[in-house]
Amino acid sequence: MAHSKRPDGYETAQANRHQVLRWLNRFGGLTTSQLSRLVWPDMSSGQRMAQRTIHALKKGGLVIRRQLPNGGSTYVLSERGSRLLRELGVTTASARGQRDLKFEKPMHRFICNEFAIDRHLEGLRIWTEFEIQRQQAPTPRITVGRHRKIPDLITQANDVYLSWVEVENAYKSQSRLLELVTVADRLLGPRDGFEIRSKHAEGFFTNMVFVASNLSRLIAVSRCFSVAFEKHLISWDIARDIELVAVSMTERLRWSGTVGTVTLETFLIAVEQYTDIQKVLLDEFPEPPPRLEDLSSWTLWKHCVSLFEEDTVEELCNEFELDTASPDALKSLPDNKIDCIDRNQMLAYLRDRLVWRDADVGLNTEFLQQCMNWYSQQDPDSSS
């Protein structure tokens, strides 16, 4: 008697179970919510599918449920689950499974994992924190002092361009932040990026990403880099290759994704503008905050000029018949000429490009405004 063929549903379920096991092996523990994003990203029933699959794997002794300190559960591979993966050809699966894994810093691990999943869903190749710790990733050999520095995540775009990702969730001393400055210099200093050739991947590290759920952590990073630039410890050119990414993660480890992204270059330019305008405000108004309308025409003009594009500068210099076409030449206009410039036009120009709130100025993007608000509230001499 011929054996009947198993239904397609069985094969699909089996494939899903194997895929879940593979992801657990790569991440070192995942929740059903994270698994639903990885295995069933486009299905409204993804969470239910993940729960059903985990239930079957747990019943078969292939995964182990682990309680998290912050509440909730995560799942790791059992010895039996790892053994099955090895039979399927996954050589990175540990013979002991993942039963000995510790989750001492769940917030950090969860931000790493969720951000990695986001990048994966964007089409990037990823190496997780767990893989990096197990030396299963194309990790550069960068030593600062006696310690080798490793990233929290690595991503790759177009099979070439690699990014070093740092998750900054907890306080770091100034000395530890300076170590990251050294890493950035060695990683991004070479013109074509830091080349790496390993059995895991080949490519060039051309980008460094700082991720945090607390804006004060990103501000601390930016301050440290700002000091390094001022002291010429590293080249300003690398600022455009460093990203500051704010993400949302609750204390109960609920992920809401990326809040905003800005390059370090953009942020520090905004800080410089903020500082320059603050100096003028303190000179003109002993008791800030003033309104934008309260500034003198000369002050309005000065800040307009600082924001003009090169073509606008050249056009206005020709209009005023100035000998040289430069921002400094425009700022040096005599008072009688500045008084002839339409104040309403200057006000409108600045409002379009600046956020003015209680003497706090940032570029006109919501996330950068949040960064600037944080920056203005911090003690410049503090590393926090």
Q: What are the angstrom distances between the C-alpha of 38 and each of 13, 125, 153, 251, 380?
A: 15, 13, 17, 22, 41
Predicted confidence band of residue 354 (pLDDT cuts 50, 70, 90): low
State what percent of residues in the chain have pLDDT above 70: 84
pLDDT at residue 219 in the model:
84
Question: Which residues 6+ apart lie within 8 Å of 72 measured at CB?
Answer: 31, 252, 253
pLDDT at residue 6 in the model:
53
Predicted confidence band of residue 357 (pLDDT cuts 50, 70, 90): very low
Residue with token string 């080798």: 148
Residue with token string 């993940």: 50
pLDDT tens string 162-200: 999 999 988 888 888 889 999 999 898 877 678 888 888
How far is the C-alpha of 305 from the C-alpha of 350, rounded, in Å? 10
State what percent of residues in the chain have pLDDT above 90: 36
Position 116 pLDDT exceeds 70: yes
pLDDT at residue 5 in the model:
52
pLDDT at residue 270 in the model:
75
Exposure b/e, 240-264, CB count within 10 A at least 16 = b: ebbbbbbbebeeebebeeeebbbeb
pLDDT at residue 302 in the model:
85
Which residues partner with 318 through β-bridges? none
What does the block give as tokens for 307?
A: 């924001």
pLDDT tens string 31-78: 999 999 999 998 889 999 999 999 999 999 999 999 887 778 899 999
The total number of residues written for the chain in this structure: 384
Given a contact cutoff of 8 angstroms between Cβ atoms, the answer to whether 185 and 230 are in contact is: no
pLDDT at residue 290 in the model:
55
- How many other CB atoms are found less than 10 A from the CB of residue 44? 7
pLDDT at residue 352 in the model:
61
pLDDT at residue 274 in the model:
63
Position 252 pLDDT exceeds 90: no
Q: What are the angstrom distances between the C-alpha of 109 and each of 93, 163, 299, 384?
A: 20, 18, 49, 22
How far is the C-alpha of 244 from the C-alpha of 210, rounded, in Å? 5
Position 362 pLDDT exceeds 80: no
How far is the C-alpha of 299 from the C-alpha of 302, rounded, in Å? 5
Helix or strand or coil: residue 256? Answer: strand
Position 358 pLDDT exceeds 60: no
Position 310 pLDDT exceeds 90: no
Question: Which residues 6+ apart lie within 8 Å of 163 measured at CB?
Answer: 154, 155, 156, 157, 205, 206, 207, 208, 209
Predicted confidence band of residue 4 (pLDDT cuts 50, 70, 90): low
pLDDT tens string 121-157: 999 999 999 999 999 999 988 888 788 899 999 999 9
Amino acid type, 80 = R
Among 185-189, 192-196, 308-312, 356-360, name the most confident range. 185-189
User: Of 132, 125, 124, 140, which Cα lies nearest the Cα of 194?
Assistant: 140
Whether cis (ω within 30° of 0) applies to the bond prior to 288 is no
Position 26 pLDDT exceeds 60: yes
Q: What is the mean pLDDT of residues 206-224?
A: 88
**Better pLDDT: 126 or 223:** 126
Given a contact cutoff of 8 angstroms between Cβ atoms, the answer to whether 281 and 255 are in contact is: no
How far is the C-alpha of 195 from the C-alpha of 269, rounded, in Å? 29
pLDDT tens string 268-298: 887 776 665 555 544 544 444 456 677 788 8
What does R_g of the chain's alpha carbons equal in angstroms?
27
Burial label, 152 (beta-carbon count in 10 A; 0-12, 13-18, 19+): buried
Decide: pTM greater than 0.85: no
Domains and CATH numbers, the chain: 8-104 (1.10.10.10), 109-268 (3.40.1350)
- Mean pLDDT for the chain overall: 83
What does the block give as tokens for 280?
A: 């003028």
Q: What is the mean pLDDT of residues 227-245?
A: 89
- How many other CB atoms are found less than 10 A from the CB of residue 145? 9
Position 11 pLDDT exceeds 90: no
- How many other CB atoms are found less than 10 A from the CB of residue 73? 12
pLDDT at residue 105 in the model:
80
pLDDT at residue 1 in the model:
47
Q: To which H or E segment does residue 325 belong?
A: none
How far is the C-alpha of 42 from the C-alpha of 22, rounded, in Å? 19
Helix or strand or coil: residue 75? Answer: strand
Region for 112 from its dihedrals, namely left if φ exceeds 0, alpha if ψ lies in -120 to 50, beta otherwise: alpha
pLDDT tens string 87-100: 999 999 888 888 88
Q: To which H or E segment does residue 148 belong?
A: strand 147-149
User: Of 221, 303, 232, which Cα lies nearest the Cα of 262?
Assistant: 221
Burial label, 309 (beta-carbon count in 10 A; 0-12, 13-18, 19+): exposed
pLDDT at residue 286 in the model:
46
